[in-house]
Protein backbone atom coordinates (compact mmCIF):
# COMPACT_ATOMS: atom_id res chain seq x y z
CA UNK A 1 0.00 0.00 0.00
CA UNK A 2 1.40 3.40 -0.90
CA UNK A 3 1.60 6.28 1.58
CA UNK A 4 -0.79 8.20 -0.66
CA UNK A 5 -3.61 5.73 -0.30
CA UNK A 6 -2.96 5.40 3.44
CA UNK A 7 -3.29 9.15 3.96
CA UNK A 8 -6.29 9.23 1.66
CA UNK A 9 -8.04 6.60 3.77
CA UNK A 10 -7.55 8.52 6.99
CA UNK A 11 -8.66 11.97 5.87
CA UNK A 12 -9.60 13.82 9.10
CA UNK A 13 -12.73 15.76 9.95
CA UNK A 14 -12.40 19.42 9.09
CA UNK A 15 -12.91 21.78 12.01
CA UNK A 16 -12.96 24.90 9.86
CA UNK A 17 -15.07 25.77 6.88
CA UNK A 18 -13.05 27.69 4.32
CA UNK A 19 -10.66 24.90 3.47
CA UNK A 20 -9.64 22.89 0.45
CA UNK A 21 -11.55 23.06 -2.78
CA UNK A 22 -15.23 23.37 -2.23
CA UNK A 23 -17.19 24.31 -5.38
CA UNK A 24 -17.93 27.68 -3.77
CA UNK A 25 -14.28 28.41 -3.17
CA UNK A 26 -13.48 27.52 -6.78
CA UNK A 27 -16.31 29.72 -7.98
CA UNK A 28 -15.12 32.65 -5.85
CA UNK A 29 -11.56 32.23 -7.12
CA UNK A 30 -12.69 32.03 -10.74
CA UNK A 31 -14.51 35.36 -10.39
CA UNK A 32 -12.03 37.22 -8.24
CA UNK A 33 -8.48 36.07 -8.89
CA UNK A 34 -6.60 37.72 -11.75
CA UNK A 35 -3.71 36.17 -13.66
CA UNK A 36 -0.98 37.83 -11.55
CA UNK A 37 -2.49 36.57 -8.30
CA UNK A 38 -3.13 33.16 -9.86
CA UNK A 39 0.54 32.92 -10.81
CA UNK A 40 1.65 33.62 -7.22
CA UNK A 41 -0.87 31.13 -5.84
CA UNK A 42 0.48 28.54 -8.23
CA UNK A 43 4.09 29.17 -7.15
CA UNK A 44 2.97 29.00 -3.50
CA UNK A 45 1.17 25.71 -4.12
CA UNK A 46 4.21 24.31 -5.92
CA UNK A 47 6.72 25.43 -3.31
CA UNK A 48 4.98 24.47 -0.06
CA UNK A 49 4.01 21.09 1.27
CA UNK A 50 0.25 21.14 1.16
CA UNK A 51 -1.52 21.15 4.50
CA UNK A 52 -5.03 21.88 5.70
CA UNK A 53 -5.99 25.50 6.46
CA UNK A 54 -2.65 26.68 5.04
CA UNK A 55 -1.61 25.67 1.53
CA UNK A 56 -2.81 26.04 -1.18
CA UNK A 57 -3.98 29.58 -0.47
CA UNK A 58 -7.20 31.26 -1.53
CA UNK A 59 -5.84 34.71 -2.31
CA UNK A 60 -2.65 36.77 -2.02
CA UNK A 61 -1.93 39.68 0.31
CA UNK A 62 0.01 42.81 -0.59
CA UNK A 63 -0.18 44.90 2.54
CA UNK A 64 -1.79 45.16 5.94
CA UNK A 65 -2.41 48.32 7.89
CA UNK A 66 -4.40 48.98 11.04
CA UNK A 67 -7.53 46.83 11.04
CA UNK A 68 -7.32 46.11 7.29
CA UNK A 69 -5.59 43.77 4.89
CA UNK A 70 -5.18 44.63 1.22
CA UNK A 71 -5.02 41.79 -1.27
CA UNK A 72 -2.80 41.47 -4.33
CA UNK A 73 -5.43 43.17 -6.48
CA UNK A 74 -5.80 46.14 -4.15
CA UNK A 75 -9.08 45.12 -2.45
CA UNK A 76 -9.41 46.10 1.21
CA UNK A 77 -10.83 43.76 3.81
CA UNK A 78 -11.65 44.64 7.38
CA UNK A 79 -9.88 41.77 9.08
CA UNK A 80 -12.04 40.02 11.68
CA UNK A 81 -9.69 37.04 11.83
CA UNK A 82 -6.04 38.10 11.83
CA UNK A 83 -5.02 34.76 13.42
CA UNK A 84 -5.50 36.73 16.65
CA UNK A 85 -2.10 38.39 16.22
CA UNK A 86 -3.41 41.82 15.25
CA UNK A 87 -4.60 43.20 18.63
CA UNK A 88 -2.88 46.57 18.02
CA UNK A 89 -3.61 46.55 14.29
CA UNK A 90 -1.14 45.70 11.56
CA UNK A 91 2.09 47.66 11.23
CA UNK A 92 1.58 49.97 14.21
CA UNK A 93 4.01 52.89 13.61
CA UNK A 94 5.09 53.04 17.27
CA UNK A 95 5.90 49.34 17.24
CA UNK A 96 7.80 49.55 13.95
CA UNK A 97 9.87 52.45 15.31
CA UNK A 98 10.64 50.59 18.56
CA UNK A 99 11.71 47.47 16.64
CA UNK A 100 13.91 49.52 14.28
CA UNK A 101 15.59 51.28 17.21
CA UNK A 102 16.15 48.01 19.02
CA UNK A 103 17.73 46.50 15.91
CA UNK A 104 20.18 49.41 15.91
CA UNK A 105 20.89 49.16 19.63
CA UNK A 106 21.20 45.38 20.02
CA UNK A 107 19.86 42.82 17.56
CA UNK A 108 20.60 39.52 19.30
CA UNK A 109 21.64 38.19 22.70
CA UNK A 110 23.72 35.01 22.61
CA UNK A 111 23.32 32.70 25.59
CA UNK A 112 25.01 33.63 28.87
CA UNK A 113 24.27 37.33 28.25
CA UNK A 114 21.29 39.00 29.93
CA UNK A 115 19.71 41.84 27.98
CA UNK A 116 17.58 44.72 29.20
CA UNK A 117 14.44 44.26 27.01
CA UNK A 118 14.10 40.54 27.81
CA UNK A 119 14.36 41.15 31.56
CA UNK A 120 12.03 44.14 31.35
CA UNK A 121 9.44 42.05 29.48
CA UNK A 122 9.65 39.22 32.02
CA UNK A 123 9.11 41.76 34.82
CA UNK A 124 6.26 43.45 32.95
CA UNK A 125 4.42 40.16 32.35
CA UNK A 126 4.73 39.32 36.04
CA UNK A 127 3.26 42.74 36.84
CA UNK A 128 0.23 42.50 34.54
CA UNK A 129 -0.63 38.81 34.90
CA UNK A 130 -3.06 37.52 37.51
CA UNK A 131 -2.09 36.28 40.98
CA UNK A 132 1.55 35.43 41.67
CA UNK A 133 2.47 34.28 38.16
CA UNK A 134 5.96 35.70 38.06
CA UNK A 135 8.56 33.33 36.62
CA UNK A 136 8.74 33.33 32.84
CA UNK A 137 10.15 31.50 29.85
CA UNK A 138 9.99 32.75 26.27
CA UNK A 139 9.72 30.84 22.99
CA UNK A 140 9.04 31.85 19.40
CA UNK A 141 5.66 30.14 19.12
CA UNK A 142 2.64 29.11 21.14
CA UNK A 143 3.10 25.38 20.57
CA UNK A 144 6.59 25.47 22.11
CA UNK A 145 5.38 27.59 25.02
CA UNK A 146 2.61 25.03 25.72
CA UNK A 147 5.15 22.22 25.69
CA UNK A 148 7.38 24.10 28.15
CA UNK A 149 4.35 24.35 30.44
CA UNK A 150 3.82 20.59 30.12
CA UNK A 151 7.46 19.92 31.06
CA UNK A 152 7.29 22.20 34.08
CA UNK A 153 4.06 20.52 35.25
CA UNK A 154 5.65 17.09 34.92
CA UNK A 155 8.73 18.16 36.85
CA UNK A 156 6.79 19.84 39.64
CA UNK A 157 4.28 17.03 40.19
CA UNK A 158 6.44 14.02 39.31
CA UNK A 159 3.50 12.89 37.14
CA UNK A 160 3.04 12.86 33.38
CA UNK A 161 -0.68 12.59 32.67
CA UNK A 162 -2.79 15.50 31.48
CA UNK A 163 -6.48 16.20 31.00
CA UNK A 164 -7.54 18.48 28.19
CA UNK A 165 -10.53 19.05 25.93
CA UNK A 166 -11.62 17.33 22.78
CA UNK A 167 -11.86 19.83 19.91
CA UNK A 168 -9.18 22.06 21.46
CA UNK A 169 -6.13 23.32 19.63
CA UNK A 170 -2.94 23.96 21.55
CA UNK A 171 -0.35 23.92 18.77
CA UNK A 172 1.18 21.63 16.17
CA UNK A 173 4.13 20.06 18.05
CA UNK A 174 3.81 16.45 19.19
CA UNK A 175 3.18 17.44 22.82
CA UNK A 176 0.73 20.17 21.88
CA UNK A 177 -1.02 17.89 19.34
CA UNK A 178 -1.31 15.21 22.03
CA UNK A 179 -3.25 17.48 24.37
CA UNK A 180 -5.14 19.04 21.46
CA UNK A 181 -8.40 17.46 20.44
CA UNK A 182 -8.68 18.23 16.74
CA UNK A 183 -8.37 15.39 14.28
CA UNK A 184 -6.55 17.66 11.85
CA UNK A 185 -3.51 17.54 14.12
CA UNK A 186 -3.79 14.03 15.54
CA UNK A 187 -5.37 11.82 12.86
CA UNK A 188 -4.06 8.37 12.00
CA UNK A 189 -1.61 9.73 9.45
CA UNK A 190 0.31 11.42 12.30
CA UNK A 191 0.85 8.22 14.30
CA UNK A 192 1.24 7.70 18.07
CA UNK A 193 1.16 10.74 20.34
CA UNK A 194 2.20 11.23 23.98
CA UNK A 195 0.89 8.67 26.46
CA UNK A 196 -1.32 9.78 29.32
CA UNK A 197 -2.94 12.67 27.48
CA UNK A 198 -6.54 12.10 28.53
CA UNK A 199 -9.40 14.11 27.03
CA UNK A 200 -12.83 15.11 28.25
CA UNK A 201 -15.74 16.80 26.52
CA UNK A 202 -15.40 20.59 26.64
CA UNK A 203 -17.93 23.10 27.91
CA UNK A 204 -20.09 23.91 24.90
CA UNK A 205 -23.44 25.05 26.23
CA UNK A 206 -25.30 25.36 22.93
CA UNK A 207 -24.32 21.80 22.00
CA UNK A 208 -23.78 20.41 25.47
CA UNK A 209 -22.04 17.03 25.14
CA UNK A 210 -24.03 15.90 28.20
CA UNK A 211 -27.31 16.79 26.53
CA UNK A 212 -28.45 19.76 28.61
CA UNK A 213 -30.34 22.56 26.91
CA UNK A 214 -29.68 26.28 27.04
CA UNK A 215 -32.41 28.83 27.71
CA UNK A 216 -33.72 31.30 25.11
CA UNK A 217 -30.71 33.57 25.79
CA UNK A 218 -28.25 30.77 25.15
CA UNK A 219 -27.45 30.46 28.87
CA UNK A 220 -27.13 27.11 30.63
CA UNK A 221 -30.17 26.12 32.67
CA UNK A 222 -28.71 26.19 36.19
CA UNK A 223 -31.35 23.78 37.51
CA UNK A 224 -30.31 20.89 35.30
CA UNK A 225 -26.79 21.75 34.14
CA UNK A 226 -25.07 21.77 37.54
CA UNK A 227 -21.89 22.32 35.54
CA UNK A 228 -21.61 18.63 34.75
CA UNK A 229 -18.61 19.36 32.51
CA UNK A 230 -16.63 20.57 35.56
CA UNK A 231 -17.73 17.59 37.62
CA UNK A 232 -16.52 15.27 34.88
CA UNK A 233 -13.04 16.78 35.15
CA UNK A 234 -13.09 16.05 38.89
CA UNK A 235 -14.30 12.53 38.14
CA UNK A 236 -11.53 11.81 35.63
CA UNK A 237 -8.89 13.41 37.90
CA UNK A 238 -9.96 10.99 40.66
CA UNK A 239 -10.43 7.86 38.53
CA UNK A 240 -7.33 8.38 36.41
CA UNK A 241 -5.17 9.43 39.35
CA UNK A 242 -1.70 10.97 39.20
CA UNK A 243 -2.62 13.69 36.74
CA UNK A 244 0.04 16.41 36.37
CA UNK A 245 -2.19 19.09 34.90
CA UNK A 246 -5.50 20.13 33.42
CA UNK A 247 -4.77 22.22 30.32
CA UNK A 248 -7.42 24.30 28.57
CA UNK A 249 -8.39 27.62 27.06
CA UNK A 250 -10.31 29.68 29.66
CA UNK A 251 -12.50 30.94 26.79
CA UNK A 252 -12.64 28.55 23.86
CA UNK A 253 -11.81 29.83 20.39
CA UNK A 254 -14.91 28.18 18.85
CA UNK A 255 -16.01 30.57 20.51
CA UNK A 256 -17.51 29.37 23.77
CA UNK A 257 -17.32 31.10 27.12
CA UNK A 258 -17.46 28.89 30.21
CA UNK A 259 -20.69 28.46 32.18
CA UNK A 260 -20.66 30.57 35.35
CA UNK A 261 -18.66 28.91 38.13
CA UNK A 262 -17.03 26.34 35.80
CA UNK A 263 -13.42 27.35 36.34
CA UNK A 264 -13.81 27.76 40.11
CA UNK A 265 -15.05 24.16 40.27
CA UNK A 266 -12.17 22.93 38.10
CA UNK A 267 -9.64 24.91 40.16
CA UNK A 268 -10.91 23.21 43.33
CA UNK A 269 -10.86 19.78 41.69
CA UNK A 270 -7.23 20.36 40.60
CA UNK A 271 -6.26 21.48 44.11
CA UNK A 272 -7.88 18.38 45.62
CA UNK A 273 -6.11 16.07 43.15
CA UNK A 274 -2.72 17.78 43.40
CA UNK A 275 -2.86 18.63 39.69
CA UNK A 276 -1.80 21.95 38.19
CA UNK A 277 -4.14 24.14 36.16
CA UNK A 278 -2.65 25.48 32.91
CA UNK A 279 -4.48 28.12 30.91
CA UNK A 280 -3.77 28.52 27.21
CA UNK A 281 -4.34 32.23 26.61
CA UNK A 282 -2.44 32.25 23.32
CA UNK A 283 -5.32 33.80 21.32
CA UNK A 284 -7.18 35.44 24.22
CA UNK A 285 -4.38 37.01 26.30
CA UNK A 286 -3.78 40.78 26.25
CA UNK A 287 -7.38 41.84 25.94
CA UNK A 288 -9.25 39.83 23.33
CA UNK A 289 -12.20 39.11 25.60
CA UNK A 290 -12.45 42.64 27.01
CA UNK A 291 -10.33 41.88 30.08
CA UNK A 292 -6.55 41.62 29.97
CA UNK A 293 -6.82 37.84 30.37
CA UNK A 294 -9.86 35.68 29.67
CA UNK A 295 -9.47 34.02 33.09
CA UNK A 296 -9.97 37.42 34.75
CA UNK A 297 -13.70 37.07 33.95
CA UNK A 298 -13.85 33.95 36.11
CA UNK A 299 -11.61 35.22 38.88
CA UNK A 300 -9.50 32.07 38.69
CA UNK A 301 -5.70 32.10 38.56
CA UNK A 302 -3.95 29.17 36.88
CA UNK A 303 -0.59 27.74 38.00
CA UNK A 304 0.75 28.37 34.51
CA UNK A 305 -0.53 30.82 31.91
CA UNK A 306 0.65 30.59 28.31
CA UNK A 307 0.58 33.56 25.93
CA UNK A 308 1.65 34.10 22.32
CA UNK A 309 0.23 35.41 19.06
CA UNK A 310 -0.52 39.13 19.68
CA UNK A 311 2.38 39.39 22.13
CA UNK A 312 4.69 40.19 19.20
CA UNK A 313 2.37 42.94 17.99
CA UNK A 314 1.57 41.10 14.75
CA UNK A 315 5.11 41.64 13.52
CA UNK A 316 7.43 39.30 15.40
CA UNK A 317 6.94 35.80 16.79
CA UNK A 318 7.15 35.51 20.57
CA UNK A 319 5.30 33.45 23.17
CA UNK A 320 5.60 33.19 26.93
CA UNK A 321 5.03 30.62 29.67
CA UNK A 322 4.29 32.31 33.00
CA UNK A 323 4.56 30.20 36.14
CA UNK A 324 3.99 30.55 39.85
CA UNK A 325 7.34 30.93 41.64
CA UNK A 326 7.21 27.49 43.26
CA UNK A 327 7.32 25.93 39.79
CA UNK A 328 10.94 27.01 39.39
CA UNK A 329 12.13 23.41 39.88
CA UNK A 330 13.98 22.45 36.71
CA UNK A 331 17.12 24.54 37.08
CA UNK A 332 19.42 21.63 36.23
CA UNK A 333 17.60 20.79 33.00
CA UNK A 334 16.83 22.67 29.80
CA UNK A 335 13.11 23.27 29.41
CA UNK A 336 13.01 25.32 26.26
CA UNK A 337 16.36 27.01 25.83
CA UNK A 338 15.32 28.20 22.39
CA UNK A 339 17.80 30.05 20.19
CA UNK A 340 15.69 33.19 20.24
CA UNK A 341 14.53 32.79 23.85
CA UNK A 342 15.77 36.14 25.08
CA UNK A 343 15.96 37.94 21.75
CA UNK A 344 16.14 41.71 22.40
CA UNK A 345 14.12 42.57 19.29
CA UNK A 346 11.20 40.18 19.86
CA UNK A 347 11.07 41.07 23.55
CA UNK A 348 11.17 44.80 22.70
CA UNK A 349 8.28 44.19 20.31
CA UNK A 350 6.29 42.51 23.09
CA UNK A 351 7.03 45.26 25.61
CA UNK A 352 5.99 47.96 23.17
CA UNK A 353 2.86 46.02 22.21
CA UNK A 354 1.79 45.89 25.86
CA UNK A 355 2.50 49.61 26.24
CA UNK A 356 0.36 50.36 23.17
CA UNK A 357 -2.49 48.21 24.49
CA UNK A 358 -2.32 50.10 27.80
CA UNK A 359 -1.84 53.61 26.37
CA UNK A 360 -4.55 53.30 23.72
CA UNK A 361 -7.11 51.73 26.08
CA UNK A 362 -7.54 48.77 23.74
CA UNK A 363 -8.84 46.31 26.35
CA UNK A 364 -11.58 48.79 27.25
CA UNK A 365 -12.35 49.27 23.56
CA UNK A 366 -12.75 45.51 23.07
CA UNK A 367 -15.11 45.41 26.07
CA UNK A 368 -17.25 48.35 24.92
CA UNK A 369 -17.44 47.68 21.20
CA UNK A 370 -17.74 43.94 21.89
CA UNK A 371 -20.76 44.50 24.15
CA UNK A 372 -22.34 46.67 21.45
CA UNK A 373 -21.69 43.93 18.87
CA UNK A 374 -23.21 41.20 21.04
CA UNK A 375 -26.35 43.28 21.49
CA UNK A 376 -26.67 43.78 17.75
CA UNK A 377 -25.99 40.11 17.10
CA UNK A 378 -28.81 39.24 19.54
CA UNK A 379 -31.12 41.53 17.56
CA UNK A 380 -30.05 39.73 14.39
CA UNK A 381 -30.85 36.40 16.04
CA UNK A 382 -34.35 37.68 16.82
CA UNK A 383 -34.82 38.41 13.10
CA UNK A 384 -33.23 35.39 11.40
CA UNK A 385 -33.93 31.79 12.40
CA UNK A 386 -30.74 30.82 10.55
CA UNK A 387 -28.89 32.11 13.62
CA UNK A 388 -29.18 29.43 16.27
CA UNK A 389 -26.83 30.93 18.84
CA UNK A 390 -24.97 34.15 19.52
CA UNK A 391 -22.12 34.09 21.97
CA UNK A 392 -18.80 35.54 23.01
CA UNK A 393 -17.12 38.19 25.08
CA UNK A 394 -15.28 41.32 24.04
CA UNK A 395 -13.82 40.68 20.61
CA UNK A 396 -14.19 36.90 20.68
CA UNK A 397 -17.59 36.57 19.05
CA UNK A 398 -19.58 33.93 17.24
CA UNK A 399 -22.80 33.43 15.32
CA UNK A 400 -23.73 29.78 15.04
CA UNK A 401 -25.87 29.01 11.99
CA UNK A 402 -28.43 26.21 11.92
CA UNK A 403 -30.92 25.07 9.30
CA UNK A 404 -33.48 24.44 12.04
CA UNK A 405 -33.47 25.77 15.59
CA UNK A 406 -34.99 22.60 17.05
CA UNK A 407 -32.75 20.04 15.39
CA UNK A 408 -29.77 22.45 15.44
CA UNK A 409 -28.60 20.96 12.12
CA UNK A 410 -25.39 22.90 11.32
CA UNK A 411 -25.94 25.26 8.37
CA UNK A 412 -22.49 24.68 6.86
CA UNK A 413 -23.35 25.48 3.27
CA UNK A 414 -25.05 28.73 4.29
CA UNK A 415 -22.04 29.67 6.46
CA UNK A 416 -19.71 29.14 3.52
CA UNK A 417 -21.86 31.22 1.23
CA UNK A 418 -21.92 34.04 3.81
CA UNK A 419 -18.14 33.86 4.10
CA UNK A 420 -17.64 34.43 0.38
CA UNK A 421 -20.33 37.10 0.25
CA UNK A 422 -18.49 38.88 3.07
CA UNK A 423 -15.21 38.76 1.15
CA UNK A 424 -17.00 40.41 -1.77
CA UNK A 425 -18.21 43.16 0.56
CA UNK A 426 -14.79 43.75 2.17
CA UNK A 427 -14.91 41.69 5.37
CA UNK A 428 -12.64 38.78 6.26
CA UNK A 429 -13.35 36.32 9.06
CA UNK A 430 -13.28 32.57 9.54
CA UNK A 431 -15.82 29.86 10.06
CA UNK A 432 -15.26 27.35 12.84
CA UNK A 433 -16.69 23.81 12.92
CA UNK A 434 -18.06 24.65 9.46
CA UNK A 435 -21.08 26.63 10.70
CA UNK A 436 -19.91 29.17 13.29
CA UNK A 437 -19.12 32.63 11.91
CA UNK A 438 -16.21 33.43 14.20
CA UNK A 439 -15.34 37.10 14.60
CA UNK A 440 -12.06 38.07 16.23
CA UNK A 441 -11.45 41.70 15.26
CA UNK A 442 -8.35 43.64 16.06
CA UNK A 443 -8.68 45.49 19.40
CA UNK A 444 -8.44 48.83 17.56
CA UNK A 445 -11.73 48.15 15.76
CA UNK A 446 -14.11 51.07 16.19
CA UNK A 447 -17.87 50.99 16.70
CA UNK A 448 -18.29 52.25 13.10
CA UNK A 449 -16.13 49.44 11.73
CA UNK A 450 -18.06 46.93 13.85
CA UNK A 451 -21.31 48.31 12.47
CA UNK A 452 -19.97 47.98 8.93
CA UNK A 453 -18.99 44.35 9.56
CA UNK A 454 -22.35 43.48 11.10
CA UNK A 455 -24.13 45.23 8.22
CA UNK A 456 -22.20 43.03 5.79
CA UNK A 457 -23.08 39.90 7.76
CA UNK A 458 -26.70 40.88 8.20
CA UNK A 459 -27.09 41.55 4.45
CA UNK A 460 -25.59 38.16 3.63
CA UNK A 461 -27.68 36.38 6.26
CA UNK A 462 -30.84 38.06 4.95
CA UNK A 463 -30.10 36.99 1.36
CA UNK A 464 -29.22 33.44 2.33
CA UNK A 465 -32.24 33.19 4.67
CA UNK A 466 -34.71 34.39 2.07
CA UNK A 467 -34.30 31.31 -0.14
C1 LIG B 1 -5.46 28.17 21.66
C2 LIG B 1 -4.17 28.06 20.90
N3 LIG B 1 -3.13 27.46 21.48
C4 LIG B 1 -1.95 27.32 20.83
C5 LIG B 1 -1.78 27.79 19.55
C6 LIG B 1 -0.46 27.55 18.84
O7 LIG B 1 0.25 28.72 18.66
P8 LIG B 1 1.39 28.78 17.54
O9 LIG B 1 0.71 28.68 16.21
O10 LIG B 1 2.07 30.09 17.78
O11 LIG B 1 2.31 27.61 17.79
C12 LIG B 1 -2.84 28.43 18.91
C13 LIG B 1 -2.69 28.94 17.52
O14 LIG B 1 -3.63 29.12 16.79
C15 LIG B 1 -4.08 28.58 19.60
O16 LIG B 1 -5.13 29.18 19.02
Percent pLDDT > 70 in the chain is 96
Q: How far is the CA of 176 from the centre of ligand 1 (A)?
A: 9
Contact 317, 282 (CB under 8 A): no
Q: How confident is the model at residue 1 (pLDDT cuts 50, 70, 90)?
A: very low
User: What is the Cβ-side half-sphere exposure of residue 338, based on CA atoms within 13 angstroms?
Assistant: 22
Residue owning the nearest CA to atom 2 of ligand 1: 170
Lowest-confidence segment of 57-71, 167-181, 182-196, 378-392 by average pLDDT: 182-196
**Predicted TM-score (pTM) of this structure:** 0.96
* Per-residue model confidence (pLDDT) at position 13: 64
**Total count of residues recorded for the chain:** 467
Dist. CA 309 → ligand 1 center (Å): 7
Spacing, Cα 217 to ligand 1 middle (Å) = 30
Q: Label residue 16 by pLDDT band (50, 70, 90).
A: low
pLDDT for position 7 = 54
Residues 279-308 have a mean pLDDT of 98
**Nearest 5 degrees, angle CA 65-CA 67-CA 68?**
60
Report the alpha-carbon distance of residue 344 to residue 340 in Å, rounded: 9
Ligand 1 nearest atom to the CA of residue 145, by list position: 11
Query: Nearest residue CA, atom 3 of ligand 1?
Result: 170
Whether 249 is in the pocket of ligand 1, judged by its Cβ within 6 Å, is yes
* Beta bridge mates, 328: none
Asked if residue 253 has its Cβ within 6 Å of ligand 1, the reply is: yes
Residue 170 Cβ < 6 Å to ligand 1: yes
C-alpha to C-alpha distance for 80 and 93, rounded to whole angstroms: 21
Torsion region of 74: left, alpha or beta (phi above 0 gives left; psi -120 to 50 gives alpha): left
Which residues are paired to 55 by β-bridges?
51
The answer to whether residue 385 scores a pLDDT higher than 60 is yes
Q: Find the range with the poorest average confidence among 17-31, 362-376, 382-396, 428-442.
A: 17-31
Q: pLDDT tens-digit profile of 307-354?
A: 999 999 999 999 999 999 999 999 999 999 899 999 999 999 999 999
Q: Binning pLDDT at 50, 70 and 90, where does residue 10 land? A: low
Least reliable range by pLDDT among 43-52, 236-245, 361-370: 43-52
The three state secondary structure string of the chain is CCHHHHHHHCCCCCCECCCCCCHHHHHHHHHHCCHHHHHHHHHHHHHCCCECCCECCCCCEEEEEECEEEECCCCEEEECCHHHCCCCCECCHHHHHHHHHHHHHCCCCCCCCCCHHHHHHHHHHHHHCCCCCCEEEEECCHHHHHHHHHHHHHHHHCCCEEEEECCCCCCCCHHHHHHCCCHHHHCHHHCCCCCCEEEECCCCHHHCCCCCCECCCCCECHHHHCCHHHHHHHHHHHHHCCEEEEEECCCECCCECCCCCHHHHHHHHHHHHCCEEEEECCCCCCCCCCCCCHHHHHCCCCCEEEECHHHHCCCCCCEEEEECHHHCCCCCCCCCCCCCCCCHHHHHHHHHHHHHHHHCCHHHHHHHHHHHHHHHHHHHHHHCCCEEEEEEECCEEEEEEECCCCCCCECHHHHHHHHHHHHHHCEECEEECCCEEEECCCCCCCHHHHHHHHHHHHHHHHHHHCC
Per-residue pLDDT of 80-133, as tens digits, reads 999 999 999 999 999 999 999 999 999 999 999 999 999 999 999 999 999 999
What separation in Å is there between the alpha carbon of 165 and the centre of ligand 1? 15
Average pLDDT over the chain, rounded to an integer: 94
Confidence of residue 294 (pLDDT cuts 50, 70, 90): very high
| Closest residue by Cα to residue 318 from 339, 292, 294 | 339
- Looking at residue 3, what is its pLDDT? 47
Atom 4 of ligand 1, residue of closest alpha carbon: 170
- Please work out whether the CB of residue 165 comes within 6 Å of at least one atom of ligand 1: no
Q: Is the CB of 283 under 6 A from ligand 1?
A: yes
Ligand 1 geometric centre to CA of 308 (Å): 7
Report the DSSP beta bridge partners of residue 322.
136, 305
- Using a 6 Å cutoff on CB, does residue 254 contact ligand 1? no
Beta-bridged to residue 399, according to DSSP, are 390, 437
Average pLDDT over residues 33-52: 95
**Alpha carbon nearest to ligand 1 atom 13, residue:** 171
Domains and CATH numbers, the chain: 3-90+362-465 (3.90.1150.10), 93-359 (3.40.640.10)
Amino acid sequence: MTLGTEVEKTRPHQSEGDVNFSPRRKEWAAKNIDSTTAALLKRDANAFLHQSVSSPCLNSIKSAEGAYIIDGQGRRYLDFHGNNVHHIGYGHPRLKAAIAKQMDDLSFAPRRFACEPAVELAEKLAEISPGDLSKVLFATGGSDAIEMAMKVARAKTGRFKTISFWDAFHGAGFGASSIGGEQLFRGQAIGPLLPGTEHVAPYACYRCPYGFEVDANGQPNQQVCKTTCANMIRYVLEKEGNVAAVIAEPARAVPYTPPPGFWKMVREACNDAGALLIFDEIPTGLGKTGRLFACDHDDVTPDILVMGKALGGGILPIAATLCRPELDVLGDYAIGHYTHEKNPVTTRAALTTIEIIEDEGLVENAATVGAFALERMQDMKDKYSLIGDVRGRGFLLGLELVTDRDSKEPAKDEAEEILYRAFDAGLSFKTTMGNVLTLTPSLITTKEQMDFALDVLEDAIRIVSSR
